[in-house]
Structure 1
Amino acid sequence: MQNLRVISPADRTPDVLRMLDGTAGVATVSVVRGASVTPAGDVVDVLLARECTDAVIADLRRFGLTHEGAIALTSVETVLADAAREAEKRAPGEPDDAIVWDELIARTREESSLNATFLAFLTIACLLSAVGVILDSPVTIVGAMVVGPEFGPLAALAVGLVRRRGSMIRRSLLALTVGFPLAMVVTALGALAAEAVGWVRPDSIDDLQQVDFIYQVGPFSLVVALLAGAAGMLALVSSKSAALVGVFISVTTVPAAGFAVVAATVGSWRIALLSAGQLGSNLVGIVVAASIVLLLHRRSRRLRVN
């Protein structure tokens, strides 16, 4: 279930209530007249099925409530009410198959911001992957995969492409094109420092046995990226956040970046190029698969409505 809190100008509240009364998936509606001070108006609290949320928000937008009022959306995990169960039965479709576009856009926009936190996590993940390469440690590589925040801007890029939002596309590309080079430069400086003190030898990546899969580019590299991108977007649109961990440890985006840096600093340019190719194929595959999932979701929704 979803909870909508709406700030509505008093003259528009009757129209809002009539719209909600005619929506099959609405379970409960509460109104507190004049409760909102800024902006001035009524507070309408709505509990409704997830399947109907996107349509209800679209109707609320037509009343101009995003400009002269406000709409807040939160997910509700547990509701003990017969009205809620009846609303879910009346609502068309299944909750996990419904996309709440405004929620998805807000989540991906936040996670694709180029800020100090994003850069710090990406840099730490690249440094961890470099250590994992030097130590031939798959456990450390998996740790780098989990720490890496790159799926956020990749998902936002897919949403921007499908929804044709140029601002989201630019925001995501900025995070990726600035974040990865910066993280790789810092990792290169760390690798060179380790080589200077003798922690890394020029032949340190010649006999790797456990992590050499990172730079081995092949058809299955793209297959894994496509599957991970699809699973990641499905996890986002269905609010199954636990599945995202599996996505993080399926693709070798950050490890490939770290491997490329280590290989370049020791002069293994062939491996560096292969690792860069692995990085590129993973990034493209994730975005393509995530975009396809969103397109299929939107198409299936239209077919159900028609």
Structure 2
Amino acid sequence: MLHVRVITPADLSDAVVRIAVEDEGVANVIRLPGVAYSPAGDCVEFDVAREGANTVLSRLQALGLKETGSISIEEVDLSISDAAAEAVEAAPGDPEDAVVWEELAARTAAETRLTWSYLVFLVLAVQIASIGALLDQPILIVGAMVLGPDFGPVAALCFGVLQRDLRLVGAAVRTLLVGFAVAIAVTLVFAYGSYLIGWIEPSMLDDRPLTSFIIHPDRWSFVVAVLAGVAGILSMTARKSSTLVGVFISVTTVPAIGNLAVAIPLRHWEEVGASAIQLGANLAGLLLAGIATLAVQRFLWAHPDTPLQRLARALPGSVSGGRA
């Protein structure tokens, strides 16, 4: 469940309480008159089932509380309450599949921030990938994939396109482009310096049977990216962060950038083009799959009585069909 704390002007307090009390997915409603100082007003708290949170939050925002008060949400790790259990049972859908759109909006917005830590992680990932390409070491390529932080802005871009939020789209594109440009530039400088002092040479990119997939983009590169995009969005919306590791390992964006950065100073121009195509195929697959997955999720939560959802609720062990 989610715990919601609302700071509301006194004249809207009754409306806030009414919204909470009337919703069958809400439990444990508390009203504390006059306890808030900044902004001044009342405090109303309650627990709401994740799968019912979107409706409640929409009604609260319609009261203008973003401007006149505040709405804070936090995850409830443990709730020992029959009333809370009944609220979860009454809410449509399953908590594990619920997408709280305001939560996702905040999370994706955070992923678009062009921070030093984001740049450092991306540079390190691309450097490791470039070394893996030069040494033909798949383990280094996998390590670079796991380290790369670029899926966050991709997910934000998908959400921004779905919401038609041009500001979010622009921020996500900026973070991706600047991050890729910085990582390529830094890796290129180090690669050129290594070439000048004799640490690397063009022949190191001639025969690489173990990592040649980086420079051979094909239909499967796109298919894998699509599957990874679906899995990545689902892992974010279902709050299963461990699944994202598998997504990172499936996507060849960072290895493609690393290979491109070392191919330039070593004058392997055909590999520069192949790496760019690999990068484009992966990004296209991620974006198309991510947008489609979010669109399907939004449709399903807007239409809880589709045949697929009725079947899911009827299965043994489902929330509304009875707990296992």
With the shorter chain as reference, the TM-score category is: over 0.9
SS at match of 2:264: helix
Measure, in 1, the Cα distance between the counterparts of 2:138 and 2:30: 54
Counterpart of 1:249? 249
Q: After TM superposition, list the pairs within 5 Å mapping 1:92-111 onto structure 2.
A: 92-111=92-111
Moved over 3 A (4+): none
| Contact 2:17–2:31 (CA under 8 A) maintained in structure 1 | no
The letter for the 2-side match of 1:142 is V
Measure, in 1, the Cα distance between the counterparts of 2:302 and 2:16: 24
Residue 58 in 1 paired to residue 58 in 2?
yes
Q: CA deviation at 1:164?
A: 0.6
Identity among equivalent positions (%) equals 42
Q: How many residues were matched structurally?
A: 306
Counterpart of 1:10? 10
Measure, in 2, the Cα distance between the counterparts of 1:58 and 1:77: 24
Counterpart of 1:237? 237
Q: Deviations over 1:104-144 (max 9, x none)?
A: 01101101112222211111111111111122211111111
Q: After TM superposition, list the pairs within 5 Å mapping 1:284-303 onto structure 2.
A: 284-303=284-303
Counterpart of 1:149? 149
Q: CA deviation at 1:267?
A: 1.1
Measure, in 1, the Cα distance between the counterparts of 2:305 and 2:33: 34
Measure, in 2, the Cα distance between the counterparts of 1:79 and 1:62: 28
Give the alignment's TM-score, normalised by structure 2: 0.92
Counterpart of 1:71? 71
Q: CA deviation at 1:167?
A: 0.4
Measure, in 2, the Cα distance between the counterparts of 1:266 and 1:68: 60
Q: CA deviation at 1:74?
A: 1.5
SS at match of 2:303: helix
Measure, in 1, the Cα distance between the counterparts of 2:229 and 2:192: 33
Bigger shift: residues 32-41 or 150-159? 32-41
Residue 201 in 1 paired to residue 221 in 2?
no
The letter for the 2-side match of 1:136 is D
Q: Deviations over 1:30-87 (max 9, x none)?
A: 2222222110111222111001111111000011111110111112222221111111
Q: CA deviation at 1:224?
A: 0.5
SS at match of 1:12: helix
Counterpart of 2:163? 163
Measure, in 2, the Cα distance between the counterparts of 1:59 and 1:302: 15
Counterpart of 1:174? 174
Counterpart of 1:222? 222
The letter for the 1-side match of 2:103 is E
Q: CA deviation at 1:209?
A: 2.3
Residue 81 in 1 paired to residue 81 in 2?
yes
Q: Which runs of 5+ in 2 are unaligned?
A: 307-324
The letter for the 2-side match of 1:281 is A
Counterpart of 1:272? 272
Measure, in 1, the Cα distance between the counterparts of 2:277 and 2:28: 53
Measure, in 2, the Cα distance between the counterparts of 1:274 and 1:258: 12
Q: Which runs of 5+ in 1 are unaligned?
A: none
Bigger shift: residues 256-265 or 223-232? 256-265
Measure, in 2, the Cα distance between the counterparts of 1:11 and 1:131: 64
SS at match of 1:73: strand
| Contact 2:229–2:287 (CA under 8 A) maintained in structure 1 | yes
Measure, in 2, the Cα distance between the counterparts of 1:274 and 1:131: 18
Give the alignment's TM-score, normalised by structure 1: 0.97
Q: CA deviation at 1:305?
A: 6.5
Bigger shift: residues 208-217 or 253-262? 208-217
Measure, in 2, the Cα distance between the counterparts of 1:207 and 1:246: 28
Counterpart of 2:24? 24
